[in-house]
Amino acid sequence: MAAGTRDGEWSIQDLARAAGTTSRTLRHYGQLGLLPPTRVGTNGYRYYDQDSLLRLQRILLLRELGIGLPVIAEVLAGEQQPAAALRTHLNLLWQEQDRIRRLIDSVTTTLEKTERGERLVASEVFDGFDNTQYRDEVIDRWGRDAYDNGDHWWRSLTAEQKQQFQQTQLDIAAEYGRLHAAGADPAGPEAKALTARLRDWVALGWQGRPVTPEAFAGLGEMYVADDRFRANYDVHGAGTAEFVRDAMAAFALDM
């Protein structure tokens, strides 16, 4: 047992190590009121008891599910009993298991259709995906207004409109794959016309936030740097994401 600790409690370092996180993260959770220490020793160190372990487990689970910290605070505020919290925890895991199963089926269908050269269908490709999972990331990158405007617009769409929006992206990605496979110039006329379609698609999703040359080129860099976005293009052939990035950078020069 570390110096200063009592039976059934953990220092912040021990808890962070056991949870696979950092002391800085735990302190941040404490500042937000999500995970206050059970006590603070005379040495200024923070210590946590068994209830804290259960609470941290719920926080980390909800983060894994893509839920933002403000929403997690609301969830935890409504769960005072450990048994009720664990029941909610278990239900969320079952829901996530079902979502992952649907994602596996979706990716399998996408792979099989791509290998057969068949047209991808939005309702199959995006089954199981959660459009709110990047909430905190969007807010960090572009601000809360950007997320709120986009989320409000997305929720206002009918199921058919959502599918049409997603299908447009799939068709554009497939066309980029065709151009890349044919050895087209990413700055050439075909790529330029296709990238104009992509720019219009991005503008629709951004709902009023200007698609500046810098922002558009930066988005292209993200398509390559972030594996989640790269996969949307490289499913049509390795290197397609780089082709898209180069086409977007060339297009941005003329914007």
Confidence of residue 2 (pLDDT cuts 50, 70, 90): very low
**Which CATH number does the domain housing residue 196 bear?**
1.10.490.50
What CA–CA distance (Å, rounded) separates 149 from 117?
36
Q: How many domains in the chain?
A: 3
**Which pLDDT tens digit goes with each residue over 72-99?**
887 777 755 656 666 666 777 777 677 6
Share of the chain above pLDDT 70, in %: 73
In this prediction, residue 150 carries a pLDDT of: 60
Place of tokens 């990035």: 245
End-to-end CA distance of the chain: 63
Indicate if 156 and 227 belong to the same structural domain: yes
**Which CATH number does the domain housing residue 65 bear?**
1.10.1660.10
Indicate if 39 and 108 belong to the same structural domain: no
Q: Which two tokens stand for residue 184?
A: 């087209």
Please identify, among 77, 102, 119, the residue that sits at the C-terminal boundary of a domain: 77
Q: Can you give the residue range of the structural domain that contains 37?
A: 9-77
| Residue 117 reports pLDDT greater than 60 | yes
In this prediction, residue 138 carries a pLDDT of: 52
Average pLDDT over residues 181-207: 92
Q: Which two tokens stand for residue 30?
A: 């404490």
Of 98 and 236, the one with more pLDDT? 236
| Residue 129 reports pLDDT greater than 70 | no
Residue 61 burial by Cβ neighbours in a 10 Å radius (0-12, 13-18, 19+): middle
Indicate if 201 and 148 belong to the same structural domain: yes
Query: Do the bridges between strand 46-49 and strand 9-11 make them parallel or antiparallel, or are there none, so unpaired?
Result: antiparallel
Could you tell me if residue 31 is inside a domain?
A: yes
Could you tell me if residue 4 is inside a domain?
A: no
Neighbours of 9 (CB within 10 A): 20
Indicate if 95 and 71 belong to the same structural domain: no
Q: What global pTM score does this model have?
A: 0.48
DSSP per-residue string spanning 123-145: HHHTTT--TTTTHHHHHHHH-HH
Backbone φ and ψ for 208, nearest 5 degrees, come out as 105, -25
